[in-house]
Amino acid sequence: MVTTTGLAAAPALPEGSAPAPGPAAEAPVGGGHHALAALLVLADGRFPAGGHAHSGGAEAAVKAGRITDGASLAAFCRGRLHTTGLTAAALAAAAAAGLDPLDLDAAADARTPSSALRTASRRLGRQLTRAARATWPSAALDALAAARPRGAHQPVVLGLVARAAGLSPLAAAYAAAYESVSGPATAVVRLLSLDPFEASAVLARLAPDLDEVARTAAEAARRALDEGPHVLPAASAPLLDITAEQHAAWPVRLFAT
């Protein structure tokens, strides 16, 4: 059994007292303050993992007229977060919890019906592996790179990277969930010349949804330790799959997906 630091409830404290510094105070992250810094690095859009080249389906949604402003961007991001975002967050949390990454890679494949998105996920996984092996060297990442030379699915790699950086499954879920909405929000700023302040406000207002998705994903990962990867969420967004295939056939596009 792998201990999922950060998922257990903190002990009750006397009224008026503050939690002592150290790992207990950093329970959602795990590993203390250095791990919190690692989460910031991992979630930073400037981390060279290739995500900046992907819109998460936003480019196709903009062209189809489904994203036109901040309100429609918020609706798109919320829907993505609670479907493919939840699925990715659970896979990342499970990898961080210590489940077999090859089993999780197969589970990710089964949860990604679009061929274009499977290819993109593996490319992103390969790029993230390269960046992470230089940042947080790990025997587990080395072994996965050898087993999947063309790249494992990105959420699985993200979970292993989180584990190598000393992060908890919950923190891995947060990183994956945030990535599922920050990518489209950033892309729409470029696609529509949307005010970046408005895009940032969309992400800020999604904070309660991000909390909910991360907690649900981490709990699913904890169950999967005992019951196997089949209990992980398999929420999908069929329109994202359909438009991903259409987008891949465009002769000219700004983003890879």
pLDDT tens for each residue of the chain, 257 residues long: 333 333 333 333 333 333 333 333 334 555 555 678 888 888 887 788 777 788 889 999 999 999 999 999 999 999 999 999 999 999 999 999 999 999 999 999 999 999 999 999 999 999 999 999 999 999 999 999 999 999 999 999 999 999 999 999 999 999 999 999 999 999 999 999 999 999 999 999 999 999 999 999 999 999 999 999 999 999 989 999 999 899 888 898 778 77
CA–CA separation, 252 and 214 (whole Å): 35
pTM: 0.85
The span from the CA of 176 to the CA of 155, in Å, is 7
For residue 46, the model assigns a pLDDT of 79
Question: Interhelix angle for 207-227 vs 196-205, to 10°?
Answer: 50
